[in-house]
Structure 1
Amino acid sequence: MPKLACAAALFVACSAAHADPLPSWNDTDTKSAIIEFVDNVTTPGLETYVTPEDRIAVFDNDGTLWAEQPAYFQLYYALDILREKAQADPGILSSDVLKAANDGDMEGMMAEGVEGLIEIINISHAAITPADFETSASEWLATAKHPTTGMAYAEMTYQPMVELLRYLRDEGFATYIVSGGGIDFIRSFADEAYGIPPWQVVGTEGNTSYSAESGTPTIMKDGGVTFIDDKEGKPVGIMRHIGKRPIFASGNSDGDFAMLEWTTAGEGPRFGMLLHHTDGDREFAYDRDGHVGVLNRGLDEAAERGWTIIDMAEDWSRIWTGSR
């Protein structure tokens, strides 16, 4: 190879090796802590080295990988589907909760708590195959508009977190979503949005059934909830689906506390991280109060547990993967 060509190839190789793996993260202690941890567990010969099969990273979704205010995106989807079905058959509005949901009365809808939400799920998420449901959800995410930002919901993933997922995979990690959201809903977009395939999604599960009537094998979503992947359910969901303790866990609320606690209690190097929503100008500012993404215990105990807190306003130069 000619000397100039050899020099150019070396320059390209060196540039790639030193390229910033997290370009949407500002050069703060948070970014340094992430890179230092990854270097420590991926460098052969170090006492902190972790073999690739044990490099498992788990991420909450709502409020961690995409936005969650003023309500979970899956709830907006459920309400839109409910209204669509009610237009075709008003008779499905058989309870006060369903009538409130159809009217956009969030207070009335939430009055019945979890039982009321299950009623809505039984209308909007049932009597459909998982494949048809995922098609419906992915189309809705690409076209429906968020009530505050006006962006498509699919555009409201966090660019810094997408970069982090890619960086971890480039360094031999397996990345999983562990979310309180419905597993089929998340599977409808996780691969395209985050590069996470359906089999690496852990989420809340509903009833499903199998039949082979008329010689056609079919799985149906039947409504209801069989497993809630939230709070103490998250470590349980991890063991059900993954089968081993992660070494890296990231969330944003006290609903993720048990997942971080269990992850960082293991032997060897561990990394726990919470996203603190401090940017009311570019996103939403919230923590200790509210109905979504409440973060109290995590803020109080992160330092003593050695967890890293992302300050969205200070640590991120960019928020959305979308055009804004």
Structure 2
Amino acid sequence: MTNDIPRSGIDRRALLSTLALLPALSASLLPAHVSAQGATPTAALPSWNDGPAKQAILDFVRDTTERESSKFVSSEERVATFDQDGTLWVEQPIYSQVVYCLDRVPAVVEKQPELKNVQPFKTVLSGNREAIGKLSLHDLETILVATLTGMSVQEFNAEATKWITAAKDPRWKRPYTDLIYQPMLEVMQYLRSNGFKTYIVTGGGQDFVRIYSQRVYEIPPEQVVGSASGTKFGYGKDGKPFLTKEPKLFLNNDKAGKPEGIHLMIGRRPYAAFGNSDGDRQMLEYTGAGDGARLKMLVMHDDAKREYAYGPAQGLPPSKVGTFTQALYDEAIKKNWTVISMKNDWKRIFAFERAI
């Protein structure tokens, strides 16, 4: 790689990180999550308060799995898709994968010392949070290209695994993989116990999410659809074949790219779809355009005390990360999508939190 790093078209959603950056710290191993296979309706969703959101999930599962129901869905058609950032785990104040890329800059510069005094690497190495927060989208794209490509798939997996098992969120001082929304874990487990296959459909990096999806969500890597860079097949000096991650975009799995990615990678229209931002709108529209019972749900972050509050829908503070516009909220109401209120619908947000 030379100083003139090519632009890649890497997912712009992952680049919206102009907020001041806090450092990632060391952490413990990934947590194990207990499955809820065979859960009954009365035992299901214990972290949810009784209300329209919880009832919508229970009604949907009953309608689509009871054979006498006019809305019954055969087992092979039972597909549910979940956005990740802001839907399954915390996305504020910056996407975790962007933190990973910034944390990787010193290692990249160590291998290529000529980058030490080249922008934007020089700014990142300075540790000046204010300056880092002012990096342009082009600067951030340059960093993502340098830290996510030009290596074998095995090398990337090893480095990302090392980081995800050691990095801590600055607010909670816990591994990022602890900051999974317990109510959403329960939804996935409840759906699986009723014959649904659950997929992550994320604007984030596909390879990055696949590293921990099995252990954290009980979703195998082949059921993760995300933004993906190209790969190139080749042979090492030992004659063994390997894949190299290349600085070119194969799939931009955000907004309209989500239904496109679902068709490409899954081949079935979901019967249930869960999101939290404008980036998920087309996925919910695509899901709702199908026949029969369809569950469309959006998580609204309206609990600044236990997590974060941002929108700007319904007068919540605006945010460049996970934007939930009033237009999206109005569409949800018009089309009978269910808006989940973190504040009102969830007894607890995280597994380590005491239920309210």
TM-score, with length taken from structure 1: 0.89
Q: What does 1:155-174 correspond to in 2, within 5 Å?
A: 155-174=178-197
CA RMSD in angstroms, aligned pairs only: 2.0
Superposed CA offset, 1:30-57 (max 9, x none): 1011101111000001101011111100
1:237 aligns with 2:261: yes
What is aligned with 1:256?
A: 280
Runs ≥4 in structure 1, deviation > 6 angstroms?
A: none
Q: Name the stretch that deviates more: 143-152 or 241-250.
A: 143-152
Given the alignment, which residue of 311, 318, 336 partners 1:306? 336
What is aligned with 1:24?
A: 47
Superposed CA offset, 1:187-221 (max 9, x none): 01111110110100100011211112432011111
Instruction: Tell me which amino acid in the other structure corresponds to 1:290.
Output: S
What is aligned with 1:49?
A: 72
Shift of 1:227: 2.1
Superposed CA offset, 1:95-140 (max 9, x none): 4223233334466566432x33331122211233223322322332
What is aligned with 2:323?
A: 294
1:215 aligns with 2:215: no
Given the alignment, which residue of 68, 81, 85 partners 2:108? 85
CA contact (8 A) 1:98 1:109 kept: no
Q: How many residues align?
A: 309
Instruction: Tell me which amino acid in the other structure corresponds to 1:244.
Output: R
d(CA) in 2 for partners of 1:254 and 1:170?
A: 30
d(CA) in 1 for partners of 2:117 and 2:263?
A: 39
Structure 1, gaps ≥5 residues long: 1-14
TM-score, with length taken from structure 2: 0.82
Q: Looking at both structures, which has the greater relative contact order when contacts are Cα pairs under 8 Å and sequence separation is at least 6? A: 2
Shift of 1:88: 5.4
CA contact (8 A) 1:274 1:298 kept: no
What is aligned with 1:154?
A: 177
Q: Secondary structure at the match of 2:142?
A: helix
Structure 2, gaps ≥5 residues long: 1-37, 313-317
Q: Which structure carries more helix by proportion?
A: 1
d(CA) in 2 for partners of 1:101 and 1:234?
A: 31
User: For the pair shown, which has the larger CA radius of gyration, 1 or 2?
Assistant: 1
What is aligned with 2:289?
A: 265
1:182 aligns with 2:205: yes
d(CA) in 2 for partners of 1:224 and 1:232?
A: 19
Q: Secondary structure at the match of 2:229?
A: strand
Q: Secondary structure at the match of 2:264?
A: helix
Distance 1:229 1:102, change over 3 A: farther
Q: Secondary structure at the match of 2:216?
A: helix
Distance 1:225 1:107, change over 3 A: farther
What is aligned with 2:17?
A: none
CA contact (8 A) 1:100 1:106 kept: no
CA contact (8 A) 1:97 1:109 kept: no
Given the alignment, which residue of 50, 57, 60 partners 1:37? 60
Given the alignment, which residue of 224, 245, 265 partners 1:201? 224
d(CA) in 1 for partners of 2:202 and 2:48?
A: 24
